[in-house]
Amino acid sequence: MSAGLSENTAILLVEDNPDDEELTLLAFKNNRIANPVYVARDGAEALDFLFRKGAYADRDQKSNPRLVLLDLKLPKVGGLEVLKRLRAEPATQALPVVVLTTSNQDEDIVNSYRFGANSFIRKPVEFGTFNAAIRELGYYWLLLNEVPPAH
Amino acid sequence: MVVAILQNISLIILITMVYHYVIRDLRAKPITVSIIGGLLFGSVSVLAMMSPVRFEAGIIYDGRTIILAIAGLFGGPLTAAIATVMAAAFRLFYIGGPGAPTGATTIVTASAVGLAAYYWRRKTGKELTFKRLIAIGLLVHIAMLAAQLMLPEQRWKTILPVIALPILILYPLAFYLVCKLFLDNEERARDRAMLEESEARYRALFQNHRSTMLLVNPDTGVIIDANLEAEKFYGWPRGELIGKPLVSLSASPPEETEERIKAALASKNASFLCRHRLASGALRDVDVAAGPFVYLGRTVLSLIVHDATARVEAENEVRALNQNLERKVAKRTQELEDANRELESFAYSVSHDLRAPLRALEGFSTLLEEEAGSSLDETARHYLDRIRRNASKMSQLIDDLLRLSRIGRQSLERSEIDLSAMVRDVAEDIAAQYPGRTVSMRIQEGMTARADKALLEVALVNLLGNAWKFTASVPEAVIGFQSMDRGGETIYSISDNGVGFDMAYSQNLFTPFQRLHDEREYAGSGIGLSLARRIFARHGGRIWAEAAPGKGATFFFTLGG
């Protein structure tokens, strides 16, 4: 991931629940967010994808994400652990990460920010509200937000 | 002549010393002592008269006045009488001569002065000081010189100038010295009597004392005395206890006992707990108080032994109970901690895992309606709507349940709260949610409370929210908030003139998800009052209600310490 973030367009969705995955993808579609979306179904896969290891060793640089949507409760490696590790790597240190999760337990919010999350959003139960949240989120992080240039 | 008188006096002193060794060392009845004393004083007077200063035939000077005065002063009437009769008889009939009447008179006056002093001393109890003894001595010898006037042919004219000065100087002094010997002797006798008495008292005390007592020779460690209680306690007769080494009583190693004997002798008092073996072979826990003790002039080790078996057993029992209790408390604490952790992870799962399926339910039924809405008939769309509403409601229930469980785990932070202001703020917020309604709020001014601000606010939001909700059908809604003092406790109350409820159902009022009113008419999950109750309980307070259907409701609460 040596290329600058500004050139990236992809979204990495880290989500183990197929229902939530489908709903999120539908929300992207509803809101005409056409950026390429990659889905990692557990924490280990997310790390492999980000660091181009394992199954993703030969991944094209062009699929480097501009935004990570991260669930916390994940199989294998938890969301907080993923966050900690990607903040430890220079290449992914500045990568925007939005924690998108079902829980709104105080300790989850506190820990997410402590480990370097850029935002914390609780998935609303109502699809209408969820849809609106995804719209705002895409608009802010993919259009408004400026990322560091390539070095 | 002076030398002769001095010789005479020395003789007297020697003789009187013999007297008090003989008399005082005999333990006899007072009357016997008086008689023997009289005979001795009489004999000594006779002896004195047998080695006199001879002035001329029949006129002699000797120490008899001193002896007889002392017989009176220390011996009392009987002794004085016997001595006087013996001496006077010897002077009158054995020696005789021209000085006989004078000599006999001298004898009588000396013993009379001594006896007078004896009575004076008994009556006043005054001490015989140097000055007083010299005064008595002078009186005796002035009388003696006066008796010289009785000598025939006025011989006093030639005799008195020669003898007056030496007699008035030397005789009172000699009298004083001899008296001093008697006084010292008296004092020694008194001391010895006291010592004997105290020893007898001590023996009685030791023998009959209710504590077990032993005396131990500190050099050999052997028991040298034991009292009656010791016989009873150990079960050996005194004769067997005496002579036993102390270490043979103790169940501890001998070195330890020896160490303790040493320590007890070094310090004034030492006390320790150990085990003693009885004659029966039984073992007893005993408290031993040990210390050095001077007995018949030498230092021995005294031991006072108390049976502590019952106490030690009770202590052991208490210790065992305590340990048991501690174990139980630790176990319960562990159980509670486990339960709490379980609850914590339960709450976490609820918030994660139970909500995700709801989201899918809600999401996909929404999408279904969007995608196929036009091809569905009214009934099918109604069913879809029911599914979505219930998913939303369940989501709300889960949130409420989590809030309820969080209150119990959250820490309580009390601060001083302007309650009147807080109620006003909450009421304003609620009023904003019901724009079409007019409610008249009557809030007592100046109410304060010491409570957790955030929790109290949650409780007030629920209580005032209820008051608002249940006055919706009343044309002129009135909600009051006030406090009163009942026996030092502040009771707050929120009253309304709304629909009220039947007190018969009031036991379900504070149970989670229990409702008294129709959900279609009055919305809500049924968690508000149980939240409020939990909040007041966390404060050490309580909540209760009074109501009647159609007559409004009043909720009372307290906030504890």
Q: If you count them, how many residues does chain A have? A: 151
- List phi, psi (to 5°) of B293: -150, 130
pLDDT of residue A86 exceeding 90, the answer is: yes
- Over the stretch B420-467, which tens digit does the pLDDT of each residue have? 999 999 999 999 888 888 899 999 999 999 999 988 998 999 999 999
Let me know whether B492 and B345 are in one domain: no
Which pair of tokens denotes residue B471?
A: 């006055």
Mutation for testing the B interface, residue in A107, A125, A126, A134 having most B CBs under 10 Å = A125
Residues B383 and B424 placed together within one structural domain of the fold: no
For residue B235, the model assigns a pLDDT of 92
Tokens of A37: 């979306």
DSSP H/E element including B288: strand B283-295
What pLDDT score does A2 carry?
Answer: 43
Under an 8 A CB cutoff, do A126 and B392 touch? yes
Q: Tell me phi and psi for residue A144, to 5 degrees.
A: -75, -45
Cβ–Cβ pairs < 8 A, chains A and B: 53
Say whether residue B348 is in contact with chain A using an 8 A CB cutoff: yes
CB contact under 8 A, A126 and B367: no
Which of A131-145, B191-205, B256-270, B380-394 is predicted most confidently? A131-145
Q: Is the four-CA dihedral B412, B413, B414, B416 of positive or negative sign? A: negative
- Which pLDDT tens digit goes with each residue over B379-426? 888 888 888 888 888 888 888 777 777 777 777 889 999 999 999 999
What the block records as the tokens of B268 is: 């004034």
B131 touches chain A (CB under 8 A): no
The range of the structural domain enclosing residue B278 comes to 210-307
Rounded mean pLDDT, B158-184: 84
The per-residue pLDDT for B34 is 83
* Residue B401 identity: L
Residue B312 lies in a domain: no
**What pLDDT score does B101 carry?**
85
Beta strands B543-547 and B477-486 are unpaired
Taking the CA of residue B404 and the nearest CA in chain A, the distance in Å comes to 14
* Whether B346 contacts chain A with CB within 8 A: no
Q: Measure A16 CA to nearest chain B CA, in Å.
A: 11
Residue B553 binned pLDDT confidence (cut-offs 50, 70, 90):
very high
Q: Which residues pair with A120 in a beta bridge?
A: A99
Among A101, A104, A127, select the one facing B363 at the smallest CB separation.
Answer: A127
- Judge whether B197 lies within some domain: no
Q: Do residues B547 and B503 touch, judged by C-beta distance below 8 A?
A: yes
Task: Round the average pLDDT of chain B to a whole number and report it.
Answer: 85
| Span B543-548, average pLDDT | 92
Query: What does the alpha-carbon distance between residue B121 and residue B139 come to, in Å, rounded to a whole number?
Result: 16
pLDDT (0 to 100) of residue B16: 66
Q: What is residue B235's three-state secondary structure?
A: coil
A103 and B348: CB-CB below 8 Å? Answer: yes
* Closest-approach residue (CA) in chain A for B360: A19
On whether both B37 and B185 belong to a single domain, the answer is yes
Whose structure tokens read 């600058």? A4
Rg (CA), chain B: 57
Q: Which residue of A has its CA nearest to B399?
A: A104
Q: What is the pLDDT of residue B443?
A: 94
- Please tell me whether residues B517 and B539 are part of one structural domain: yes
Tell me whether residues B395 and A125 touch, CB distance under 8 A.
Answer: yes
Return the higher-pLDDT residue of B332 and B195: B332
| H or E element at residue B354 | none
Name the residue in chain A with its Cα closest to that of B389: A126
pLDDT at position A45 is 94
Report if residue B469 sits inside a domain.
yes
Residue B472 shares a structural domain with residue B389: no
The CA distance from A14 to A45, in Å, is 9
Q: What is the pLDDT of residue B182?
A: 81
Whether A3 has a pLDDT exceeding 50, the answer reads: no
In a domain, B201, yes or no: no
Distant-in-sequence contacts of B100-106, Cβ < 8 A, 24+ apart: B100/B58, B101/B150, B102/B147, B102/B148, B102/B150, B102/B151, B103/B60, B105/B147, B105/B150, B106/B64, B106/B65, B106/B143, B106/B144, B106/B147
Who has greater pLDDT, B296 or B77? B77
Q: B331 to chain A nearest CA, in Å?
A: 28
Q: Between β-strands B489-496 and A97-101, what pairing exists: parallel, antiparallel or unpaired?
A: unpaired
Clarify whether residues B168 and B232 are in a common domain: no
Integer Cα distance of B531 and B524 in angstroms: 13
Regarding whether B324 and B302 lie in a shared domain, the answer is no
Domain count, chain B: 4
The residue among B407, B422, B446 that closes a domain is B407
Q: pLDDT band at residue A1, thresholds of 50, 70 and 90?
A: very low
3-state class of B124 per DSSP? helix
Span B352-361, average pLDDT: 85
Collapsing DSSP to helix, strand or coil, A1 comes out as coil
ipTM: 0.74
User: Tokens representing B204?
Assistant: 């009685």
Q: Does B355 touch chain A (CB under 8 A)?
A: yes
**Residue for token digits 């006045």?**
B65
Residue of A101, A124, A127 with shortest CB distance to B367? A127
Examine the domain organization and report whether B553 and B522 are in the same domain.
Answer: yes
Q: With the C-alpha atoms ordered B68, B74, B75, B77, is the resulting torsion angle positive or negative?
A: positive
What are B84-139's pLDDT values in tens digits?
Answer: 999 889 888 888 777 788 888 889 999 999 999 999 998 988 888 889 999 999 99
Neighbour order of strands in the sheet with A37-40: A37-40, A10-14, A65-70, A97-101, A119-122
B17 and B166 assigned to the same domain: yes
B349: domain CATH number is: 1.10.287
Q: Report how far residue B271's alpha carbon sits from residue B422's, in angstroms, rounded to the nearest whole number.
A: 67
Range in A22-36, A66-80, B188-202, B237-251 with the lowest mean pLDDT: B188-202
Per-residue pLDDT of B18-35, as tens digits, reads 666 666 655 567 788 788
Using the 3D structure, point to which of B192, B221, B245 is the last residue of a domain: B192
B204 lies in a domain? Answer: no
| pLDDT tens digits for range B186-231 | 788 788 888 888 888 888 888 888 899 998 888 888 998 899 999 9
Asked if the structure places residue B202 within a domain, the reply is no
Of B473, B432, B429, B451, whose CA–CA distance to B532 is shortest? B451
Q: Please report, for the domain that includes residue B419, its CATH number.
A: 3.30.565.10
Confidence of residue B523 (pLDDT cuts 50, 70, 90): low
Q: Is residue B539 within 8 Å of B452, Cβ to Cβ?
A: yes
Separation of alpha carbons B83 and B481, rounded Å? 116
The reply to whether B54 and B121 lie within a common domain is yes
CB contact under 8 A, B367 and A20: no
Q: Are residues B428 and B496 in the same domain?
A: yes
Are A104 and B351 a contacting pair at CB < 8 A?
A: yes
Q: Let me know: does B112 contact B72? Beta carbons within 8 Å.
A: yes
Kindly report the nearest CA distance between residue A70 and chain B, in angstroms.
14
Alpha helices in B373-483 (DSSP H): 378-409, 419-433, 453-469
- Among B307, B336, B369, identify where a domain stops: B307
Q: What was the pLDDT predicted at B378? A: 87
Which residue of chain B comes nearest to A20, CA vs CA? B360
* Residues B149 and B42 occupy one common structural domain: yes
What CATH number is attached to the domain comprising B128? 1.10.1760
Helix, strand, coil fractions of chain A, as percent rounded to 5: 45, 15, 35
3-state DSSP assignment of residue B347: helix
Name the DSSP letter for residue B75.
I
At residue B520 the predicted structure's pLDDT band, cuts being 50, 70 and 90, is low
B444 found inside a domain: yes
